[in-house]
Amino acid sequence: MKRTVILGTGHYVPPKVVTNFDLEKMMDTSNEWIVQRTGIRERHFVEPGIGSSDLAYEASIRAIEDAGIDKSEIDFIILATLSPDHYFPGVGVILQAKLGLAGIGALDVRNQCTGFIYALSVADQYIKTGMYKRILVVGAEVQSSNLNFSTEGRDMAVLFGDGAGAVIVGPNEEDNDRGILSTHLFADGRFLKDLWMEKPSPKDNPVFSNKMIEEKRYFPRMDGRSVFKNATVRMPEAVKIALKHNNLTIDDVDLIIPHQANYRITELVARSLGVSMDKVMSNIDKYGNTTAASIPIALDEAIKSGRLKKNDIVVLTAFGSGYTWGSAVIKM
């Protein structure tokens, strides 16, 4: 069976930069608090009218160019997001139309911060079975339009940013062992209320009510300590399971790319795996948490900066709302 290789990567963030100092003007927070607790210094926000599909399109164009393929070679799209342009249909079909690829299948993945790893895992199965030859896998998010930028919402509002990352995957046609070695996916739905956007919900009739709006229940909410605690346990756990599965040790790994949730979480993941931060990718200072986009953005930056080279072993790991978590091991 041919392994799935990454043929090209790309990312895009909207031009508008919002610093911690900008947030200081909107709520009772400080640059010092945000940097100390999260490592975030700035993030990018879209202008009104720009959706996840627009960011996904820009990232996809860059990944297609990087892969050196014609976009018509793409035979399937998988797009991970928690912030679709519309309630329905999914963003995958919107991206498909924007790329001018009418006809090919387009799948949306709704696994929040772990979305890209879930999406990559699905793509890997399709490539290995020979069903598709060129899959565009994207993580794209617009978070900024639905955060509570008052002091009441400061725990969430300072964390998130907008952006998109994309990869093109296909079968390894060469005589070597490069490619995705494994993916491991996990979830525990008992924790859904620890990190969620409760409303609007079709469970309500009518779906929209003044009460729901007055109570501001359409903003995402979280139990930050529960998320922190679980993320620092689940990500290293998923990495260790993946290494064991592949008969690898942490010394065989060239780079770990964790979901960019919080620099302190990343440091604890590194400590739990017994590695220094030299082996761990972090770009949260520039982007904040871009949810499903964080791993493909970081992956693209790691490759383009030369930090990740051909034949290197990279381990991706993520944790997020659901709870969902997982890992992927790739020989680049």
Active site amino acids: 113, 259, 289
Q: Which of the stretches 50-58, 117-125, 151-159, 171-179 binds ligand COA when contact is defined by CB under 6 A?
A: 151-159
From the CB of 279, what's the least distance to ligand COA, in Å? 21
Applying CB under 6 A, among 24, 73, 75, 155 the residue interacting with ligand COA is 155
Residue 69, phi then psi, degrees to nearest 5: -110, 165
Query: Smallest gap, in angstroms, from Cβ of residue 16 to ligand COA?
Result: 20
Binding of ligand COA by 38 (CB under 6 A): yes
Number of residues that bind ligand COA (CB under 6 A): 19
Using rule CB under 6 A, residue 328 touches ligand COA? no
Stretch that binds ligand COA, among 80-88, 95-103, 121-129, 220-228 (CB under 6 A): 220-228
Positions 242 through 281 that interact with ligand COA (CB under 6 A) = 261-262
Q: How far is CA 246 from the centre of its chain?
A: 24
End-to-end Cα, the chain, rounded Å: 17
110 is a contact residue toward ligand COA (CB under 6 A)? no
Is residue 117 close enough to count as binding ligand COA by CB under 6 A?
A: no
How many angstroms separate the CA atoms of 58 and 68, rounded?
Answer: 16
Residue from the set 67, 107, 113, 243 that interacts with ligand COA by CB under 6 A: 113
Provide φ and ψ at 304, rounded to 5°: -65, -30
Report if residue 83 touches ligand COA, rule: CB under 6 A: no
- Two tokens at 218? 């359409």
Site for ligand COA contains 80 (CB under 6 A)? no
Name the site residues for ligand COA (rule: CB under 6 A): 29, 33-34, 37-38, 113, 154-155, 158-159, 222, 224-225, 227-228, 261-262, 289, 320
